[in-house]
Amino acid sequence: MNTSTATFGLNAVIVGATSSLAQPLCHALAARGFGLVLVARDEVEVDLLARDILTRHEIRASKIIADFLDSGFSAEGIIERAGPFSHLIILAGDMGTADPTNIANLAYTMHLNYTVPAQVAAAGAKRLAERFAQEKKRGHIAIVASVAGDRGRQSNYAYGAAKAALATFASGLRNKYCKLGVAVMTVKPGFIDTPMTWGMTSPLMASRESVAAGMMKAMLKGKDVVYLPFFWRYIMLIIMHIPERVFKKLSL
């Protein structure tokens, strides 16, 4: 096992660890000597990922099996079981179905993309503040939102609304904890080549590996908000400034 983890106390909790974006990020963290706590629902997939990390990096990852849709789900319970950690990275989410008018789908989409990530971030920030407030080091939280949250669009406004709420929550969390030893970063990816985007074709599609590398770089630099790839910041700036009377006539 990589001894640098014990030496520097770098331990990352990855929530949604078996997602397509999380997996290359886990490998990037392990390559830098981070100890890992993998939080996900699918025990088989978690075991496969943990074995792969052990084989490639000689890092023995811990595992927490949690179903975010379970009525007994507890964000505080996950944070408690994770043990001491320095970084919390929250990637849980799902675009849901294409019909945002379906009430069950709306509840599902809001729960997985806002409620659960916000609960875990709140519990994690409290724990990190307790650990790092009196130290010169800082704890870090990375929350994955989306460019879809920058402006509501007819194609995915339920998902976009959930991600917008999550980004606003992250902003407030950052403001609250910045003086308490916790840095909170909001990540806003654009189109990523994952199962959620299968069937979509776009010249703006980015690989999951490049987005994971961008997240890692931004987190180590202590960024507050990062768009990945970077050009999405400018694309969304343009979209956000289209007058509403024009925007509502567009098919986006």
Rg of the chain over all Cα atoms, to the nearest angstrom: 18
Per residue in 51-105, pLDDT (tens digit) is 999 999 999 999 999 999 999 999 999 999 999 999 999 998 888 776 767 888 8
How much is the pTM? 0.90
Q: Is 7's pLDDT higher than 50?
A: no
CA distance 46 to 61: 10
**pLDDT value of residue 184:** 98
Six token digits for residue 146: 């989306």
What's residue 205's pLDDT? 79
Contact predicate 138/112, CB 8 Å: no
Average pLDDT taken over every residue of the chain: 90
Q: How many angstroms from the chain centroid is the CA of residue 8?
A: 23
Superfamily the domain 4-247 falls into: NAD(P)-binding Rossmann-like Domain (3.40.50.720)
**Distance between CA atoms of 11 and 29, rounded to whole angstroms?**
9
Res. 196 pLDDT band, cuts 50 70 90? low
Residue 170 in this model has a pLDDT that exceeds 70? yes
Region 110-119: mean pLDDT is: 96
Note if the bond before 189 is cis, omega within 30 degrees: no
pLDDT, tens digit, for every residue of 127-149?
Answer: 999 988 767 678 999 999 999 99
pLDDT band at 5 (very low <50, low <70, confident <90, very high): very low
The rounded distance, in Å, linking the Cα atoms of 125 and 117 is: 12
pLDDT band at 24 (very low <50, low <70, confident <90, very high): very high
Nearest to 156 by CA among 191, 207, 128: 191
- C-alpha to C-alpha distance for 105 and 101, rounded to whole angstroms: 8
194 falls in which pLDDT band (50, 70, 90)?
low
Q: What percent of the chain has pLDDT over 90?
A: 76
pLDDT > 70? residue 169: yes
- pLDDT value, residue 229: 94
Report the pLDDT value the prediction gives residue 210, as an integer from 0 to 100.
Answer: 94
Domain ranges of the chain: 4-247
pLDDT tens-digit series, residues 205-246: 789 999 999 999 999 899 999 999 999 999 999 999 999 999
Going by pLDDT thresholds of 50, 70 and 90, the confidence category of residue 3 is: very low
Which segments within the chain are labelled E, that is strand?
11-15, 35-40, 62-65, 87-90, 139-144, 182-189, 225-228
Residue range 159-165: average pLDDT? 96
**Mean local confidence (pLDDT), 157-183:** 95
